[in-house]
Chain A
Amino acid sequence: MAQEPLLQLKGVSKSFGAVQALYRVDFAAYRGEVMALVGDNGAGKSTLIKGVAGIYPFDEGEVYFDGQPVQIHNPREASALGIEVVYQDLALADNLDVVANMFLGREMIQKPWRLDEAAMERKALETLDSLAVTTIRSVRQPVAELSGGQRQSIAVAKAVMWNSKLVILDEPTAALGVAQTRQVLDLVRRLADNGLAVVLISHNLHDIFEVADRITVLRLGQNVKEFIAADTTHEEVVHAITAGALRHVPGMVKNG
């Protein structure tokens, strides 16, 4: 598929003081595809997605969204473009029910200032239906009563409810058991099949080969390689993560 990427980063860099977290990284995510972002601890995965999410700006490089050059200064601008991030801690309020969590901060209002519970519940049900999240007994139960996989599903559903085009998932299966992981991976696949661009950060190569279409490997803040998942093997990817060729040796004086 030689289509144009939805999100494209060209040569982005980011440093924190003396630490070069990202150095001239290229990255792309495509509509209807799951792009896995892998790399060892400290490879720059989080820095990359935080830049895209508008948590902080990249020092240099270009960001294209839908073919247009964009600058993302804060999370609100990212949301406005249609970029949603599901962080590892999910950011759910345990004491609120599923509907309240999905609409938190963006409640639907009935005339003066009254929550339109019926409309919100309706839309929450529709969203969960469209994602085939069916294991939840009631959308009116507190999130605290849900399993880890269900919570992850709610966080994802919350992210995609707002006409988002790109969903970034940070380690969605890290804390889950086998059956729960299955549930979430199926959900990730469905997001892509529904036409969204999905970026999946994970340490688990098994999960990645199960759902990803492409794999981008980062190592020491640089991108080593982009693989087509179907054309590569575990060994190749592991090798790239641990010993992939770097264009710039860390510590070497970099000079334009």
Chain B
Amino acid sequence: MVLGGKSLSLAGYFREYGKRIRAGDLGALPIILGLLVIATIFQTLNQNYLTPRNFVNLILQMAGITTIAIGVVYVLLLGEIDLSISYVSAVAAVFMTMRLRPPDGWPWFVALIAALIFAAAIGFVQGLIITRFKLPSFVVTLAGFLIWNGVVLILIGNGGTVIIQDPVIIGIANYFLPALWGWIVVVGGAILFAANRVMSWNTRRRRGIASTPALVVALQGLAIILAAVVVVSIANQDRGVPFVGILLLILLVGFTFLAERTPFGRYVYAIGGNAEAARRAGIQVQRIRVLVFMISSFMAGMGGVILASRLRSVDTAAGGGSLMLNSIAAAVIGGTSLFGGSGRVISAFLGALVIASVENGMGLLGLSAGVKFVVTGLVLLLAVLVDAISRRGRARSGVA
């Protein structure tokens, strides 16, 4: 009887929460448990796992995949797939790197923006082909995967490696904020974020709409600020807060806002849930779908730039290996459904954190790439199983 309701009591709030958990709506809970398990295992096996140095390394290692996976989340929300992301990311990185090359290199921001526009344009074309000719996105983006792989090889030629010399582009993944600035930016951002939550909570309360208890909102806000304090103090014991970490936060917040607070995001969820209902509601389904493929390619391009910046170069292996599979796996491990309509942008971050943690830990243990793949695959399988089982629980309780 929340209808026309007031604030829930604290006990009522937790009763609701418990009910949701039992009904199978686990949210991010399994992932957080999984991360704890991963951290415990690797820390017992190798004392270097939970160190400030490795913590900062982890942020650097997950940045590229997280960025690409944010775009994947949007595509998955539609119930589509984009297999071309890895080589779109490589093409964007190669394009930017070649435009930066002296003697007649472009200024860094021109090369960067041009590369991102180029990536988005790829998504535009792929999306247009998928929607106009009603082709499965799987096939069209698989073709894209092959084509852009080829383009990368053609552009780089036999040279093998192109070095990035521009200090700003290299700084994207290699610059660390001075200790004080780390405090100001991260903790300041967390305080702003918490304040925003309190304000929107207050708006809802003023308008007399059921809202969470004040204590819960306050605790959530404090938890966010506390987490920021912990992150900065750990990072500052090593090289400091990496710039790319800030960039990740901005992207995560921005794309979460787009997905959950704007009509565009609402339409993406609606199309993923019931495309026919969306169409009848007057939503321009095809236009939204094309835009989502543009977001996917754009974020792939952004991720490619971050990866290239980290390596300070691009070579013929760019976009290869397990990049595409890891990016999609990150979104899925994080809790985004492959069937559309369900998932959150934050799942890109959580999933990438799991994958990077596993890879990082096994790297410290000196395990082979083969073992890494097997373990990552098992984690993916486990994540999908947890999702499927909790979904069954939800379906059961939904009938009641």
Q: Which A residues are within 8 Å of any B CB, using their own CB?
A: 75-76, 89, 91-96, 100-101, 104-107, 109, 113-115, 117-119, 121-122, 125, 128-129, 134, 136-140, 144-147
Whether B274 sits at the interface, judged by CB under 8 Å, is yes
Contact of A107 with B3 in the complex, beta carbons under 8 Å = no
Q: Are A115 and B263 in contact (CB under 8 A)?
A: yes
Contact assessment for A105 and B282 in the assembled complex, using a CB-CB cutoff below 8 Å: yes
B134 at the interface (CB under 8 A from A): no
Listed from nearest, the 8 A-B pairs whose CB atoms lie closest are: A105-B281, A93-B273, A95-B273, A95-B341, A91-B277, A104-B281, A93-B274, A105-B282
B269 adjacent to chain A (CB < 8 Å): yes
Do the beta carbons of A125 and B4 come within 8 Å of each other? yes
Further contacts, 19 of them, CB under 8 A, given A109-B263, A134-B3 = A91-B277, A91-B281, A95-B273, A95-B341, A96-B269, A101-B277, A105-B281, A105-B282, A107-B263, A121-B204, A121-B209, A125-B4, A125-B209, A134-B1, A136-B3, A137-B2, A138-B210, A139-B3, A146-B398
Bound: A158/B277 CA distance, A: 12
Q: Which of B209, B283, B398 has the most CB of A within 10 A?
A: B209
How far does the alpha carbon of A177 sit from the alpha carbon of B207 in the complex, in Å? Answer: 37
Which residues of chain B from 385 to 400 have a CB within 8 Å of any chain A CB? 394-395, 397-399
Contact A128-B278, Cβ < 8 Å, known A113-B262, A114-B261, A147-B399: no
> Distance (Å) between the CB of A101 and the closest chain B CB?
8
Smallest CB separation, A144 vs chain B (Å)? 5
Chain A minimum-CB-distance residue to B20: A141
**Which of the residues A95, A140, A146 comes within 8 Å of B342, measured between beta carbons?**
A95
Contacts of B272 in A (CB 8 A): 95
Distance between A156 CB and nearest chain B CB, rounded to angstroms: 15
**CB-CB contacts below 8 Å: B193-221 with A:** 203-204, 207-210
A75, A113, A139: the one within 8 Å of B263 (CB): A113
Q: Is the CB of B266 within 8 A of A100?
A: yes
Bound-state Cα–Cα, A91 to B271, Å: 11
Task: Tell me the smallest distance from the CB of B345 to a CB of chain A, in Å.
Answer: 15
- Listed by A's residue number, 5 A-B pairs whose Cβ atoms lie within 8 Å are A96-B270, A100-B269, A122-B208, A125-B209, A147-B399
The answer, yes or no, to whether B132 is at the interface (CB within 8 Å) is no
What residues of B have a CB within 8 angstroms of the CB of A100 in the complex? Answer: 266, 269-270
Contact A91 B280, beta carbon cutoff 8 Å: yes
Select B398's contact among A107, A109, A119, A144, beta carbons within 8 Å: A144
Is A93 a contact of B397 with CB atoms below 8 Å?
Answer: no
Q: Which residues from B are CB-within-8-Å of A107?
A: 263, 266
- Check B3–A92 contact: CB distance below 8 A: no
Q: What residue of chain B has the Cβ atom nearest to residue A146's Cβ? A: B398
Is B207 in contact with A118, judged by CB distance below 8 angstroms? yes
Count contacts on B: residues with CB < 8 A to the other chain.
34
Q: Which residue of A lies closest to B339 (CB)?
A: A95
CB-nearest residue of chain B relative to A121?
B209
B399 touches A115 (CB 8 A): no
Closest chain B CB from A31 CB (angstroms): 26
Residues of chain A within 8 A of B277, CB atoms compared: 91-93, 101, 104
Give chain B residues whose Cβ lies under 8 Å from the Cβ of A140: 2, 210
Q: B395 CB to closest chain A CB, in angstroms?
A: 8
Chain B residues lying within 8 Å of A114, measured Cβ to Cβ, are 261-262
The reply to whether B270 and A104 contact each other, CB–CB distance below 8 Å, is yes
- Smallest Cβ distance from A246 to chain B, in angstroms? 35
Q: How far is the CB of A110 from chain B (nearest CB, A)?
A: 9
The residues of B that contact A109 with a CB separation of less than 8 Å are 263
Identify the closest chain A residue to B342 (Cβ).
Answer: A95
Question: CB-CB < 8 A to B281: which residues of A?
Answer: 91, 104-106
> What separation, in Å, do the CA atoms of A87 and B147 have in the docked complex?
45
Interchain CA distance A115-B262 in the complex, whole Å:
5
CB-based contact A138/B278 at 8 Å:
no
Determine if A104 and B283 form an interchain contact, defined as CB atoms under 8 angstroms apart.
yes
A119 B207 Cβ-Cβ under 8 A: yes
Closest CB of chain B to A98's CB: distance in Å? 10
Q: Are B283 and A93 in contact (CB under 8 A)?
A: no
- B44-95 CB contacts (< 8 Å) to partner A: none
A122 surroundings in chain B (CB, below 8 A):
207-209
Q: B203: nearest residue on chain A (CB-CB)?
A: A118
Select which of A89, A93, A118, A119 is within 8 A of B278 by beta carbon.
A93
Nearest-Cβ distance from residue A34 to partner chain B, whole angstroms: 24
Give chain A residues whose Cβ lies under 8 Å from the Cβ of B262: 113-115
Q: How far is the CB of A176 from chain B (nearest CB, A)?
A: 13
Give min CB distance, B285 to chain A, whole Å.
Answer: 11
CB proximity of B262 to chain A, nearest CB, Å: 5
User: How far, in angstroms, from A96 to B394 measured CA to CA in the complex?
Assistant: 15
Distance (whole angstroms) from the CB of B385 to the closest CB of chain A: 21
CB distance from A50 to the nearest CB of B (A): 13
Contacts of A104 in B (CB 8 A): 266, 270, 277-278, 281, 283
Contact B273 A91 (CB under 8 A): no
Kindly list chain B residues whose C-beta atoms are within 8 Å of the C-beta of A89: 276
Q: Which residues of A contact B3 (CB under 8 A)?
A: 125, 128-129, 134, 136, 138-139
Q: How many Å lie between the Cα of A100 and that of B268 in the bound state?
A: 12
Q: Roughly how many angstroms separate A109 CA and B264 CA in the complex, as a whole number?
A: 11
Chain B residues positioned under 8 Å from A95 (CB to CB): 269, 272-274, 341-342
Q: B397 to chain A: which residues have CB within 8 Å? A: 145
Q: How far is the CA of A146 from the CA of B207 in the complex (A)?
A: 26
User: What's the nearest-Cβ distance from chain B to residue A130, in Å?
Assistant: 11
A212 to chain B, nearest CB (A): 27
| In contact, A138 and B2 (Cβ under 8 angstroms) | yes
List chain B residues, Cβ under 8 A from A128. Answer: 3
Option from B4, B207, B274, B341 in Cβ contact (under 8 Å) with A92: B274
Least CB distance, A252 to chain B, in whole angstroms: 39
A113 to B207, CA, bound (A): 20
A106→B267 CA distance, assembly (Å): 11
Complex contact A129–B4 (CB within 8 A): yes
State the CA gap A11–B309 with chains docked (Å): 73
- A137 CA to B203 CA, complexed, in Å: 22
